[in-house]
Amino acid sequence: MKKRKELELEILQHYFSIEGKVATLKLVYDTFAELINPNFGDDKIEKLNDKLFADIRDAVSILPKRYKLDIQIVIRDFGDYKKEECENIIKQNIYLAGYRTLKESNKKRVGGWSLIGVGALVLVVSYLLRKYDLWFDLINISGTLFVWEGVNTAFIERNQDSRETIALAKAIKNITITSAQES
């Protein structure tokens, strides 16, 4: 019977080339244009669709944490793009993804603290209405729920997103782009 790590390595070697603690994954695309979202942005920089990032997230999610990921993006036909342009587009889109993560994190923080504030206000109102038993209980419960949901949003969900982004950044060792002829 194979040990768990041997079995894991055997399964991973079907998808990755593994040398030491570095797993290499080739992502092959027919054209670079298939990675571009044609309905977003202007001529300054092009936005990638979610296909490339979904493939990268998928690879990181199945790879054990002890491995670093070396991603080789192979483009069969660059079309109207030059290799340097493609590298720049991918780099700019990684920055955009980081910006989006920070923006969503800030939005969750503000939303969470708003819910906590509303909950605290509702709890104060319930304290003022404590002589009316039914209303006191209903308002107190809803105020408590607001506070709980606010704490969940401001601290737990927000930190989970940050941890996932940090784990993704730590897992990737290198990203290279090559043409089909080079690989």
- How many distinct helices (H) and strands (E) make up the chain? 5, 6
Q: What is the pLDDT of residue 183?
A: 56
Strand 68-77 with 36-41, pairing: unpaired
Question: Could you tell me if 183 and 83 are in contact, meaning their C-beta atoms sit under 8 angstroms apart?
Answer: no
Question: Could you tell me if 88 and 67 are in contact, meaning their C-beta atoms sit under 8 angstroms apart?
Answer: no
Q: By residue range, what is the domain housing residue 92?
A: 4-179
Tallying the residues shown for the chain, one arrives at 183
Domains of the chain: total? 1
> What are 61-93's pLDDT values in tens digits?
888 888 888 888 888 888 888 888 888 888 888
* Residues 6+ positions from 144 with CB-CB distance below 8 Å: 119, 123
Nearest-angstrom CA–CA distance, 116 and 167: 29
At 123, the pLDDT band (50, 70, 90 cuts) reads confident
> What are 137-157's pLDDT values in tens digits?
777 788 888 888 888 887 777
